[in-house]
Structure 1
Amino acid sequence: MKVTEHYAQAERPLFSYEIIPPKRGSSVADVLAVVDDLAPYDPPFIDVTSHGAEVTYEEQSDGTVQKRTTRKRPGTLGLCAAIQYRFGIDAVPHILCRGFTQEETEDALIELNYLGIHNLLAVRGDETGKRADTRADRTVNEYASDLVAQISDMNEGRYLADLLDAAPTDFCVGVGGYPETHVDSPNASWDIEHLKQKVEAGADYVVSQMFFDNRHFLDWAKRCREAGIGVPIVPGLKILTSKRQLSLLPRSFYTEIPEALADEAMAAPDGQVADVGVAWAREQAEELLEAGVPGIHFYIMSTARHVVRVAEPLRDLVG
């Protein structure tokens, strides 16, 4: 079922989750165990992140510098297939612009279509230092709106090559939104206009970047509606679980951590920081549900231990 169909048919707000593939050389069993922990809470879909190749430079003993290109977390497509067919939960792989050509993207989309995976999240991706292998006959998607347009073309049966009687795909496309403004945007209005361009290119729903102050999301969602963005807008929440995240999350995701949360987390013993984060996320979620959001998307990374402490009482709250 498509993500938008889940929201349209839901009789109560939905709780979805986002996980990451295992590192290269690691077993998929640990990740599938996370899905197993989430399954009793009836997630309509689970997102699986994707990571492009990363370039590093290593100094050698002879003084030279060697360039290495690595894929740290391969296996998004395979993990999505395992989730969808082992657990019966719709999987949403992330499809990236950066690090991939349009030709590579088309190949991946064809594979997903063959697998019966028809939900995607189209994102630009983090800067990794690795550029796509482009030649005169190969092209790239510079922005997420370009990627959405490519997927929309395939949904209309238009492929990169002019194929006779090409079968259209049937992808439901999500995109990211930024309540606190994307780092590359000069202002919030400019950022919302670019989000609108992604929707006009064919995006079916929006999932927000994590935030810890609901005022940011509610004001941003209101401005999105005023700008003419009519697709579902879903808030994304992250549970603070360590003191290290007080500096890591703002630096990595450009999100502000409210003073009250930061003070309480710093004052807590190391083993109780997650309790503070769980209580904060629960209050955030309850307020958002009262505001009428269609669901909540939890960024959980590699463990379900903390999120179930938020999701279980919320299930009782929404009936």
Structure 2
Amino acid sequence: MKITEHIEQAKGKTLFSLEILPPVKGQDINCTFKTLDPLVELKPAFIDVTYHRQEYIYKQKENGLLKKYSVRKRPGTVAICSAIQNHYKIDAVPHLICGGFTKEDTEDALIDLNFLGIDNVLVLRGDPIKTEKTFVPEPGGHAFANELVQQVVGLNHGKYLDDELQETHATDFCIGVAGYPEKHFESANLSLDMHYLKQKVDLGANYIVTQMFYDNQKYFDFVTKCRENGIQVPIIPGIKPLTAVGQLSSIPKNFYIDLPEALVQELLKADCSSTISQIGLEWSVNQCKELIKFGVPALHFYTMSNSKHTKFIAQQLF
């Protein structure tokens, strides 16, 4: 079922959804099930599975020359999504990224997803890998998420890269894209970021999932600005509890967001890790209650494949 259909059928009730990481290389699907088992009891409407680009390492050969090796630490997004849908009968949403994919790779992935009965994709540009100062597109791939949206929409209209193919079948993917209440870190300002977001929606994106945030007013303002700019698709807020003092620096650094002064002060006064965790969890619970009152279509939890904190929060809400 499409994400938009889940939202329509909920008739104004806020849905519960979550995002997981694929297991690291060498682990099997049971690692994913172990993460999900405690959460499926709460009946999530859908489960996102992230995609991780291959990185590169160089090893010196006996002749002294360096050889480049491709390394993907978290493989299997397509397979994991298929396993989730078959095991739990819950819709899985694979992330589809520009980085590391040619247009042909993208088309192949979409054909596989369509064959497996997966109805949704979350389309992202993707982040630079460690060896890149800025994002570098794959040769023969897409440089921007809006280009990737166009390719998915094209396939939804039966438009394949080989225009000489006969008897092609159109796909019917529901397309999600990312939104940034505090703007994408590479955008000059929020207005320009909004311009590109509207472009993705105008091209055919069906819903938006936001970057995490800790100040609900920023989400409210973001929704208002979207509506003022003619963006009418559902906007799902992303939630991640802050549960360790080290996250006071790591979250702003890695995700380019601000932390509310009140939350920071409470965390700095805490005298042990368990107190810090409890403060962060209570903040998230109160944040989610306010978002539900506002009428958000879903709460989307970034679990980082740790079910404990997400389950605690969701149990207070659903």
Counterpart secondary structure, 2:303: strand
Q: Could you state the TM-score of these two structures normalised by the residue count of structure 1? A: 0.93
- Deviation for aligned residue 1:308: 1.4
Equivalents in 1 of 2:257, 2:89: separation in Å?
Answer: 34
Asked if 1:150 is matched to 2:151, the reply is: yes
Matched with 1:248 is 250
Instruction: Note closer, same or farther for the CA distance 1:228–1:67 as it changes in structure 2 (3 Å cut).
Output: same
- Deviation for aligned residue 1:181: 0.4
Q: Which runs of 5+ in 2 are unaligned?
A: none
- Deviation for aligned residue 1:26: 2.0
Matched with 1:77 is 78
Asked if 1:273 is matched to 2:276, the reply is: yes
Instruction: Note closer, same or farther for the CA distance 1:133–1:240 as it changes in structure 2 (3 Å cut).
Output: closer
Matched with 1:284 is 287
Counterpart secondary structure, 2:160: coil
Instruction: Note closer, same or farther for the CA distance 1:81–1:205 as it changes in structure 2 (3 Å cut).
Output: same
Matched with 1:224 is 226
- Deviation for aligned residue 1:133: 5.6
Equivalents in 1 of 2:274, 2:65: separation in Å?
Answer: 45
> Where in structure 2 are the equivalents of 1:1-319 lying within 5 Å?
1-11=1-11, 12-56=13-57, 67-128=68-129, 129=131, 134=139, 139-162=140-163, 163-268=165-270, 269-315=272-318
What amino acid is the match of 1:309? F
Equivalents in 2 of 1:116, 1:73: separation in Å?
Answer: 23
What amino acid is the match of 2:22? P
What amino acid is the match of 2:177? V
CA RMSD of aligned residues (A): 1.9
Counterpart secondary structure, 1:234: strand
- Deviation for aligned residue 1:27: 3.0
Summarize deviations over 1:122-160 as a string: whole Å, max 9, x none: 0000111475663xxxx2111111001000000000001
What amino acid is the match of 1:10? A
Deviates more, 1:253-262 or 1:92-101: 253-262
Instruction: Note closer, same or farther for the CA distance 1:271–1:116 as it changes in structure 2 (3 Å cut).
Output: same
What amino acid is the match of 1:236? G
- Deviation for aligned residue 1:61: 11
Counterpart secondary structure, 1:217: helix
Counterpart secondary structure, 1:173: strand
Instruction: Note closer, same or farther for the CA distance 1:62–1:278 as it changes in structure 2 (3 Å cut).
Output: farther
Counterpart secondary structure, 2:244: coil
Equivalents in 2 of 1:132, 1:191: separation in Å?
Answer: 20
Equivalents in 2 of 1:152, 1:9: separation in Å?
Answer: 24
Contact 1:35 1:83 in 2 (8 A): no
Contact 2:149 2:200 in 1 (8 A): yes
Contact 1:121 1:173 in 2 (8 A): yes
- Deviation for aligned residue 1:222: 0.4
- Deviation for aligned residue 1:55: 2.7
Instruction: Note closer, same or farther for the CA distance 1:62–1:100 as it changes in structure 2 (3 Å cut).
Output: same
Equivalents in 1 of 2:228, 2:293: separation in Å?
Answer: 21
Equivalents in 1 of 2:58, 2:286: separation in Å?
Answer: 44
Equivalents in 2 of 1:40, 1:241: separation in Å?
Answer: 23
Q: Which runs of 5+ in 1 are unaligned?
A: none
Counterpart secondary structure, 1:41: coil
Equivalents in 2 of 1:7, 1:248: separation in Å?
Answer: 33
Equivalents in 1 of 2:137, 2:5: separation in Å?
Answer: 34
Equivalents in 1 of 2:302, 2:98: separation in Å?
Answer: 21
Summarize deviations over 1:12-64 as a string: whole Å, max 9, x none: 11010000000111233222112111111111100000011113457899997
Equivalents in 2 of 1:181, 1:58: separation in Å?
Answer: 39
Q: Could you state the TM-score of these two structures normalised by the residue count of structure 2? A: 0.93
Count of residue correspondences: 311
Counterpart secondary structure, 2:19: strand
